[in-house]
Structure 1
């Protein structure tokens, strides 16, 4: 089994009350996930609001996380930025800090050719000696990773896998086939984790894992053991939580508010992402109780990673 196989929380941002990155809060947030049955953390991705942060803010967030949990959780760093130069700088910084791997989306806004995206990624791959994980999320970037480009990149020893956040499990299976037997595929859409596993995913990286890591760790273990009826029931229960989270002004705002109820302060999401409102308080408390009840039911069935 690859040392990177398993479940990774896509870590949220951690800001102070003025909206600045808070190393102290970032460290406390990272510490919260130790012992939850996870393989590690994915820092600076969509859930981490990396695209909304400056290069220096992204560095500060990573440094705080690594200082707190280095050696206890594997740390994959999202280094993708609009400019290739910033992405290269973040790649080098991740290696210098002692991260375990790097990952990146294509540059966004411009509709880039496949050759342009390949060059963008290749410069990050060449900038550090760390393993590289492609991040494919076509619904937000406008670029869909082809099986042929995946196969080409996977021939490099440093390119070890792909985070497949596209909504097609057929597409996930095709990328797994293109990459080869040892090529890792991480399921991206949390609501179809089990379907992704059934089609060849080796683990998952997800944002809603952050408010229910124990449930996703248990779901992964059920899938590992082939207990599909039980796994399906748990996925349906998880999806009920996700559906409720999506009813708030922003998913990340709701998740951060739930963590606040548990004493983990991470600040509001950065605009244009909206925070929850005071009127959402009672429903968020009820949702948190539902999550904690489910976690209690699965307390005797911890994840293995």
Structure 2
């Protein structure tokens, strides 16, 4: 389990309901056009924390039905409600997802032992491979190297979605746990993450620059650092525009310009303005130029 995986967007209708047609289009675009190695379903990019359990199960079902066995599928099932997380995990396992992932418990300042108990319960009750989802910028939870070691020693915990920018910690973790899988989560640092030991990456922007990310990853496997640097520069031109306006909204807009029904955002996210759309349209020009 490695390579480039898209943190999948979730298309909604303007009333907030799931847009199944659009979701299927987004899945196929990522597999057929971006040629990513896998899909990370129901994460932050997918707005899953704004969805109820029923919608999250529907999301898992539709993606699996459309993707089949074409790529690796990882289901992000984390929730502050542990029973919901377990139910979602068992649903994903039943559907045939390759692995589960769960965000570290957030909002409350949980102790590490509480966080560990959370993962232990999910893995024990689902008995399915688990990838810890660490994103300290959003959860406020910093995990030490020692703590990671305890999590990685739990049965069925196979790795980490490392959405952090501490490269020295990542390098040390890979050195200590070479048999575990580590996915980088900062798209603008893909090159640095892979060089530091990441086995691949899971990113929001790969819905539109997945091909470039794949080529960068492959270049590093061939020790072609010059090409990898050039690709990262190209990617960062796109990423900087996305970040300026709003990554999720902007990526959905670009996909629509490319003929993919990426739908609307889920409330309380806003839609981007007409002026912002014009700014984001520069990305379409960059992508066309790079073809």
What range is the shorter-chain TM-score in?
Answer: over 0.9
Distance 2:19 2:121 in 1: 30
Shift of 1:281: 2.8
Distance 1:292 1:102 in 2: 35
Task: Confirm or deny: 8 A CA contact 1:22 1:61 kept in the other structure.
Answer: no
Equivalent residue for 1:106, pick from 104, 107, 114: 104
Equivalent residue for 1:266, pick from 254, 262, 266: 262
Match of 1:282 in 2: 278
Q: Which segment is superposed worse, 32-41 or 67-76? A: 32-41
Aligned-partner SS, 1:273: coil
Alignment gaps of 5+ in structure 1: 297-305
Matched, 1:200 2:223: no
Normalized against structure 2, the TM-score is what? 0.96
Equivalent residue for 2:31, pick from 34, 55, 59: 34
Report Cα offsets for 1:65-86 as digits up to 9, x if no partner.
0001111011101011122111
Task: Confirm or deny: 8 A CA contact 1:187 1:193 kept in the other structure.
Answer: yes
Aligned length: 290
Task: Confirm or deny: 8 A CA contact 2:123 2:155 kept in the other structure.
Answer: no
Aligned-partner SS, 1:242: helix
Alignment gaps of 5+ in structure 2: none
Distance 1:167 1:274 in 2: 28
Distance 2:31 2:207 in 1: 12
Shift of 1:28: 1.6
Normalized against structure 1, the TM-score is what? 0.91
Aligned-partner SS, 1:33: helix
Shift of 1:157: 4.7
Distance 2:129 2:180 in 1: 12
Match of 1:293 in 2: 289
Matched, 1:146 2:144: yes
Equivalent residue for 1:5, pick from 2, 7, 31: 2
Shift of 1:272: 2.8
Equivalent residue for 1:242, pick from 239, 242, 251: 239
- Aligned-pair RMSD on alpha carbons? 1.3
Task: Confirm or deny: 8 A CA contact 1:105 1:136 kept in the other structure.
Answer: yes
Q: Where in structure 1 do 4 or more consecutive aligned residues deviate above 3 Å?
A: none
Q: Which segment is superposed worse, 55-64 or 26-35? A: 26-35
Distance 2:265 2:106 in 1: 20
**Highest relative contact order (Cα 8 Å, sep 6+), 1 or 2?**
2
